[in-house]
Structure 1
């Protein structure tokens, strides 16, 4: 079975309104940004590709390791920034010289780019990909096209 960009976008949008809960990944009950991506993955592909260990709010910052980036690269295909399209995963670095540790799913490009993400204090929301957000994007990835 093939997974389309439209299915990814639709599935991500189904999570809108889910409250923010650190380390959670349950539609309607709670999710953080990684939990949102995990939940979308489970819906589209079945079980998750790897077990996610417990993590703190400042995970991998002390070591300076790009763990989230490396995990995304293990399971998705990295894309050039100018080649992103709806359904792609986007990775953000929230502060200069910090590790990248926020994720979202691009849901539209026109007329204004937007993405779905779980954001502390807001829950799962659809946000415009404004200049402040675009400046923080460090990588983008394409979900696998095939199930299984």
Structure 2
């Protein structure tokens, strides 16, 4: 794990134990999966680039619009290679044929941190059932002036 990956994982781990709260992004008080990624962004890069509009728990599932995937492609960088590495932002499709609507941050090749309803922010094994749901991997952009 390089220094940048270590910083990302350390920032994500700070959020472990934060209760689950839909649309929230407050360390120690409440976060959902997007709120966790937003909080890690703020910890690494500073203020968020845009205000996140209200969203429903189904993430536009009825319309079939890939809201999270479009936003991830716009604000994050594609992760190179085929293997999950520490610091990757993971986008999950929870059911075949449905939109992608869950996010996590890899803490290693076989673990990830995510906010999960009923559990809060936790670190979980990236087991086969989770790994097969990954539809895309992204990286946080490098801060200005960093390599």
After TM superposition, the score normalised by the length of structure 1 is 0.92
- Residue 124 of structure 1 corresponds to which residue in structure 2? 121
CA RMSD, 1 decimal: 1.4
- Distance in 2 separating the partners of 1:60 and 1:80: 28
Q: What are the residue-to-residue correspondences of 1:1-148 with 2, within 5 Å?
A: 4-80=4-80, 82-109=82-109, 113-147=110-144
Are the equivalent residues in 1 in contact too, given 2:84–2:108 (CA < 8 A)? Answer: no
Please report how far the alpha carbon of residue 84 of structure 1 lies from its aligned counterpart in structure 2 after TM superposition.
2.9
> Can you give the 5+ residue segments of structure 1 that lack an aligned partner in the other structure?
none
Higher normalized contact order (CA 8 Å, seq sep 6+, divided by chain length): 1
- Distance in 2 separating the partners of 1:80 and 1:63: 30
Are the equivalent residues in 1 in contact too, given 2:115–2:122 (CA < 8 A)? Answer: yes
Q: In structure 2, do the counterparts of structure 1 residues 147 and 19 end up closer, same or farther at CA, with 3 Å as the change threshold?
A: farther
Structure 1 residues 54-111: Cα deviation after superposition (integer angstroms, max 9, x where no partner): 01111211110111001011111113561431001000000111100000000012xx
Give the ranges of 4+ consecutive aligned residues of structure 1 lying more than 3 Å apart after TM superposition.
Answer: none
After TM superposition, the score normalised by the length of structure 2 is 0.92
> Can you give the 5+ residue segments of structure 2 that lack an aligned partner in the other structure?
none
Are the equivalent residues in 2 in contact too, given 1:81–1:140 (CA < 8 A)? Answer: no
Please report how far the alpha carbon of residue 21 of structure 1 lies from its aligned counterpart in structure 2 after TM superposition.
0.3
- Distance in 2 separating the partners of 1:60 and 1:138: 17
